[in-house]
């Protein structure tokens, strides 16, 4: 094992940095409510809060399998994008007919996200500190230039950087150019969860933790959720279960679980930060298909994550997959190559999380069981801010409201289903091989071009 990894905690840094509130009780008796929400991550918590705004007198129950924020929402990088479409270029490439609307709504969602935090007094560690996209190869530089042209077209502020200007934001021998976009935020993931949960409870949302839902079925005009020996009978249900095995069979091939891994360093000194030119609070991501995202923590550590995207045969979701020494070693090795001046820095935390990877890289939402159940999932690695938008979309769907959100084709379009095994693994392997090859050569292999033509994407 690499020495820098010899003393890491498997608990996500974000969870260790926040005192856990006492658990809410598990559901222990049959109950009835107007709205039941399954899942207590960002999507479920935003859904509960927004439902309370719209229905002040409704009985709202949220059921969480473990503790709120224990899955993706507590393991994320916390990059809070001004986008619901996995970025401007993705909207243009995959949803050209409504790209302009998607881009506008994504930007507005970030404004509204910040306003909600302020209105509710939610201390989410929200910082509108911008994002630096960095390029390592000539074709990645061209990619940033194309991104800048797209931004310009939509009036989105950004600056292309190289040389000394780049070194003022990040000084690494690995990167030759950058694109800085000031309108991009970071949040503290676990603080966001715990604050959303606190406000939901204060607003009378009933949260039951350690209450996994094992079945869903219609019963007359209602929906019945089973959890252990007890049942919740609800007029309406929202499913916010993200990468977990979906309760609705029809959703089971709509996305696959892909594991993404993170390291956090010991706190770095001012001199160490200065040695890599990173004196601001912006987040950073590089531009490969296999990409790193990295940011500072409030106590001066660096989160260094991404690159590997690991799929397990049969869409395996075993808890043991959350630790993967090969991925941690690859991260540590690539960290050392990216930041030679930080050689010798050790890592305090190493963890994994599951990304609900859909074949078109953005969330989808819909209705089931006669319109009494709504779902939203498939965020594909960009769900911090989109979860709020998805929650509002589910509420619109349940209320059968005709809104700009429900008129969007992107969430409604059914994601191309992943084939069953063994084809599924084969397709993932081929796509990943192609993406790695493109990173090395700058040329998109024929298999990926075929997928592009079919509207199928693969990203984490």
Ligand X SMILES: Cc1cc2nc3c(=O)[nH]c(=O)nc-3n(C[C@H](O)[C@H](O)[C@H](O)COP(=O)(O)OP(=O)(O)OC[C@H]3O[C@@H](n4cnc5c(N)ncnc54)[C@H](O)[C@@H]3O)c2cc1C
Among 87, 106, 143, 383, binds ligand X (CB under 6 A): 383
Cβ partners under 8 Å of residue 274, min gap 6: none
Residue 299 CB burial class (10 angstroms; 0-12, 13-18, ≥19): exposed
Two tokens, residue 124: 């989410």
| List of E strands, 118-176 | 131-135, 159-162
Binding mask 77-116 for ligand X (x = CB under 6 A): xxx-x-----------------------------------
Name 293's bridge partners.
Answer: 285, 305
Which one, 92 or 244, has the nearer CB to ligand X? 244
Q: Any contact of residue 285 with ligand X (CB under 6 A)?
A: no
Among 212, 280, 300, 417, binds ligand X (CB under 6 A): 212
Number of chain residues interacting with ligand X (CB under 6 A): 41
Cβ partners under 8 Å of residue 311, min gap 6: 256, 257, 258, 259, 425, 428, 432
Among 240, 332, 368, 427, binds ligand X (CB under 6 A): 240
Binding mask 294-333 for ligand X (x = CB under 6 A): ----------------------------------------
Q: Any contact of residue 207 with ligand X (CB under 6 A)?
A: no
Q: Which of these ranges, 23-31, 234-242, 338-346, 367-375, lies near ligand X under the rule CB under 6 A?
A: 234-242
- Residue 440 CB coordination number (10 Å): 9
Considering only residues 108 to 167 of the shown chain, the ones binding ligand X according to CB under 6 A are: none
Q: Please give the Cα distance from 21 to 7 (Å, whole number).
A: 27
Shortest spacing between CB 26 and ligand X, in angstroms:
11
Of 253, 287, 306, 258, nearest in space to 429 by CA: 258
Among 24, 33, 35, 65, binds ligand X (CB under 6 A): 65
Q: Please give the Cα distance from 183 to 82 (Å, whole number).
A: 7
Q: Please give the Cα distance from 180 to 225 (Å, whole number).
A: 46
Q: Any contact of residue 38 with ligand X (CB under 6 A)?
A: yes
* Residues contributing to the site for ligand X (CB under 6 A): 38-44, 63-66, 70-73, 75-79, 81, 212-213, 240-244, 247, 260, 262, 293, 353-355, 379, 381-384, 387
């Amino acid at each position: 094992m690499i020495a820098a990894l010899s003393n890491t905690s498997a608990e996500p840094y974000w969870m260790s940095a926040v005192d856990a509130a006492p658990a809410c009780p598990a559901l222990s008796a049959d109950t009835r409510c107007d709205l039941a929400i399954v899942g207590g991550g960002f999507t479920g918590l935003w859904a509960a809060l927004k439902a309370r705004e719209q229905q002040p007198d409704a009985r709202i129950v949220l059921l969480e399998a473990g503790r709120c924020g224990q899955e993706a929402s507590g393991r994320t990088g916390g990059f809070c994008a001004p986008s619901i479409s996995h970025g401007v270029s993705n909207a243009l490439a995959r949803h050209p007919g409504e790209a302009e609307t998607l881009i506008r709504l994504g930007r507005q969602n970030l404004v509204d996200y910040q306003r909600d935090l302020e209105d509710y007094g939610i201390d989410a560690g929200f910082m509108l500190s911008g994002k630096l996209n960095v390029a390592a190869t000539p074709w990645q530089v061209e990619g940033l230039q194309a991104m800048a042209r797209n931004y310009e077209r939509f009036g989105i502020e950004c600056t292309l950087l190289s040389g000394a200007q780049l070194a003022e934001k990040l000084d690494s021998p690995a990167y030759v150019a950058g694109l800085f976009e000031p309108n991009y935020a970071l949040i503290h993931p676990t603080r966001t969860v715990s604050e959303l949960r606190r406000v939901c409870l204060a607003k009378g949302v009933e949260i039951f933790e350690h209450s996994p839902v094992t079945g869903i079925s219609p019963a007359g005009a209602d929906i019945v959720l089973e959890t252990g020996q007890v049942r919740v009978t609800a007029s309406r249900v929202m499913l916010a279960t993200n990468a977990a095995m979906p309760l609705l069979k029809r959703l089971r091939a709509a996305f696959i679980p892909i594991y993404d891994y993170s390291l956090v360093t010991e706190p770095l000194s001012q001199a160490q930060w200065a040695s890599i030119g990173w004196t601001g609070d912006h987040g950073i991501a590089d531009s490969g298909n296999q990409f790193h995202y990295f940011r500072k923590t409030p106590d001066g550590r660096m989160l260094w994550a991404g690159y590997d995207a690991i799929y397990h045969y049969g869409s395996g979701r075993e808890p043991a997959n959350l630790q993967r020494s090969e991925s941690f070693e690859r991260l540590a090795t690539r960290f050392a190559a990216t930041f030679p001046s930080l050689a010798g820095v050790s890592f305090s935390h190493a963890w994994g999380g599951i990304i609900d990877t859909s074949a078109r890289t953005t969330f989808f939402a819909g209705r089931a069981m006669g319109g009494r159940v709504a779902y939203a999932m498939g965020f594909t690695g960009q769900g911090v801010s989109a979860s709020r938008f998805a929650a509002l979309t589910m509420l619109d769907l349940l209320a059968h409201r005709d809104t700009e959100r429900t008129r969007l084709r992107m969430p409604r379009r059914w994601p191309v289903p992943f084939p069953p095994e063994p084809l599924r693994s084969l397709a993932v392997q081929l796509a990943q091989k192609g993406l790695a090859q493109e990173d090395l050569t700058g040329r998109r292999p024929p298999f990926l071009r075929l997928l592009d033509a079919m509207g199928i994407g693969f990203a984490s």
